[in-house]
Structure 1
């Protein structure tokens, strides 16, 4: 199948950049995630978007049947589902020259670089795929200068790194490198 080899050919032709090297077109002043969203997170968002498309289609059918209030409710539910799907993909740690931002599904926390003391991994009970069930795993912990730490968002049992421990280690190192790079 030719489309399977096209991706490998593009990678072979693409210029290689060092891990710490920035691309010439990259905007370093904007918020960016130093790791990619994982397959569980993207798959969950895709499933929510699929369900939202069904709800939008039902809103269309209800509107054509003549019940505009019911169609409006379905449309509002679909917009809410799309918002949740987009927010679900964005959950994680983001960095910029201003500081470190931790996005959760319903809220976010931004901390300036002088307020971050360390970023480390810790072995502790973590939530499995964000569900209430906890299992033993590793978490990315952000310690603050005023004491305490940010709530844990990035774990090796979360939607980004479930079943990919080496990807979690690389992401934790990338976030820690960003902290060191921006603080100095």
Structure 2
């Protein structure tokens, strides 16, 4: 079974001289692999959902079907949460850069982007209120050039905690997409 999210990292590892190694640039893609914290949390949630689904079947067979349906709905909610957690991140295409959060998604067209750069600043640790010193990839927009925007990627989020080389590769690839489409 092909795993397209694994091909993204390999494409940037083997094609150092080609900034954008993809044929279909209009397709939204994540230019990095999801991190171990994100994948591990989603896997644990899916494991929990399997137990809840099993419980829903047992409840439906031994008790009332309506109670089993409620538990089945709870399992579907846990599955939806884990799938949304895997979707969170930065996605790029020829149209722009998209920051997918858990509850909302923001898309910025390349025409609105002044710069995509990596800065040293306090960043949130795994999305929690605690901040630590780290690097962040930010987008400076034309309409909000003076305003400070939230970072796209940080060295301490669920994708890059403890993986500074992966952060550097991901930041470089998003910057390359930005440089390519800001010129055009």
Superposition TM-score, scaled by structure 1 size? 0.83
Q: Does 1:67 align with 2:64?
A: yes
Residue 66 of structure 1, CA deviation = 2.5
Q: How many residues align?
A: 167
Hey, what's the Cα distance between the residues in 2 that align with 1:60 and 1:134?
Answer: 43
CA contact (8 A) 1:140 1:155 kept: yes
Preserved CA contact (<8 Å) 2:139 2:152: no
Runs of 5+ consecutive residues of structure 2 not aligned to the other structure = 1-12
Q: How far off is 1:150 after superposition?
A: 4.2
Residue 124 of structure 2: aligned partner: 127
Per-residue deviation at 1:94?
0.5
For residues 168-179 of structure 1, what are the structure 2 equivalents within 5 Å? 168-179=167-178
Q: Deviations over 1:8-67 (max 9, x none)?
A: xxxxxxxx95232635xx532210011111111111111111111111111111111122
- Alignment correspondent of 2:155: 156
Distance in 1, matches of 2:14 and 2:168, equals 20
Aligned-pair distance for 1:132? 2.6
Cα distance in structure 2, aligned partners of 1:68 and 1:131: 39
Q: Specify the SS of the correspondent of 2:153.
A: coil
Equivalent position SS for 2:29:
coil
Q: What do you get for the CA RMSD once the two structures are aligned? A: 1.8
SS of equivalent to 2:126 = helix
Which secondary structure state, in structure 2, belongs to the residue aligned with residue 130 of structure 1?
coil
TM (norm. structure 2) is 0.83
Once superposed, which parts of structure 1, at least 4 consecutive aligned residues long, lie more than 6 Å away?
A: none
| Residue segments in structure 1 that go unaligned for 5+ positions in a row | 1-15
**Does 2:42 correspond to 1:51?**
no
Shift, 1:149, TM fit? 5.0
| Aligned match for 1:39, one of 36, 39, 42 | 36
Q: Is 1:18 aligned with 2:15?
A: yes
In 1: Cα distance, 2:81 partner to 2:68 partner: 20
Aligned in 2, Cα 1:129/1:149: closer, same or farther, shift over 3 Å?
A: same
Query: Partner of 2:8 in structure 1?
Result: none
Would the aligned equivalents of 2:89 and 2:99 in 1 still touch at CA under 8 Å? Answer: yes
Provide the secondary structure at the position in 2 that maps to 1:129: coil
